[in-house]
Amino acid sequence: MISVLLNIFPDEGNESRVQAAIALVKSQGGHITCVQAVSTGSIPVADPASAATEAETLLELERVAREFQDTVEAMLAKADVGWSWLRFFGDPGAIVVERARLADVVILSSQDSVPSVSSVALHSRTPVLAVPVSNPNFIPDRSALIAWNGSEPAADAVHGAMPMLDFMEPVQILSVDHDSEEFPASLVQQYLHHHQIRSDVHWRNAEDRKSIADTIINVSEELGCGLIVGGAFSHSRLREMVLGGVTRELLERSPVPLLLAH
């Protein structure tokens, strides 16, 4: 059983997120908590003269949000899964991070997400399942690929993925370029073995930083994996923003969902 927090936002990736949540819950059992964060940034600053305008704006936001809720709930009802709905007014990032405290996974879009993957992954202990915008391409009974580099975020991602890995055997563990001396890929395999999860270990070389993401994607396709598990933003947030990094490359180009933790 798995507890899924599904980010609801009227953007291009919403249907893909809903499909991923349905596929995950259908494969493992569990519950989808839909969190609809409605931004109030367009509401004017409150004062006696603008009180009526502010009230009208809130009512209109509520009406539009309710119409969108009806659309999404029709999809969930057709899929015959269990769900509940929470609507909040305020900053989407803060709301999703707060509500994620008692979820096993948060589903966001891998690109142009509101809130962004980085804002949630960096501030929440709950892993993020980032799915492609146009098609989640998520088949929960395929193997999962762990992109392992020995880092704490990578270990957090493995811990966060455990509720899913039982259903995604054999798990594939990939170390690119240099295996960690202190925490090699073999220790990940040993950890999974303790949980009675079958796994295989692979080593590959990459020519440069950008090609690390290419290598991870290529191996996931070669092995027919339905999920990539990895640490999010292993370096400082500023460095990731300036230089890009493996996480950003994977978010932009991976054809399958990413399970990320920091």
Residue 233's SS3 state is coil
For 165-224, give the DSSP string.
Answer: HTTSPSEEEEEESS--SSS-HHHHHHHHHHTT--EEEEEE--SSHHHHHHHHHHHHHHTT
188-203: pLDDT as tens digits: 999 999 999 999 999 9
Let me know if domain 2-131 sits in CATH 3.40.50.150. Answer: no
130-179: pLDDT as tens digits: 999 999 999 998 999 999 999 999 999 999 999 999 999 999 999 998 88
- Dihedral pair phi/psi, residue 39, rounded to 5°: -70, 135
What is the C-alpha R_g of the chain?
19
Residue 257, judged by CB atoms within 10 A of its CB (0-12, 13-18, 19+), counts as buried
Global pTM reads 0.90
Domain made up of 144-261: CATH architecture: 3-Layer(aba) Sandwich (3.40)
Angle, CA of 195, 196 and 199, to the nearest 5°: 100
Give the Cα separation of 130 and 20 in Å (integer). 10
Give the Cα separation of 167 and 28 in Å (integer). 8
One fold for both 2-131 and 144-261? yes
**Domain boundaries in the chain?**
2-131, 144-261
Q: What percent of the chain has pLDDT over 90?
A: 76
Walk along the chain (262 residues) and give the pLDDT tens digit of each residue.
999 999 999 999 999 999 999 999 999 999 999 999 998 764 444 455 555 577 788 888 899 999 999 999 999 999 999 999 999 999 999 999 999 999 999 999 999 999 999 889 989 999 999 999 999 999 998 999 999 999 999 999 999 999 999 999 999 999 998 888 899 999 999 999 999 999 999 999 886 655 899 999 999 999 999 999 999 865 554 444 433 488 889 999 999 999 999 8
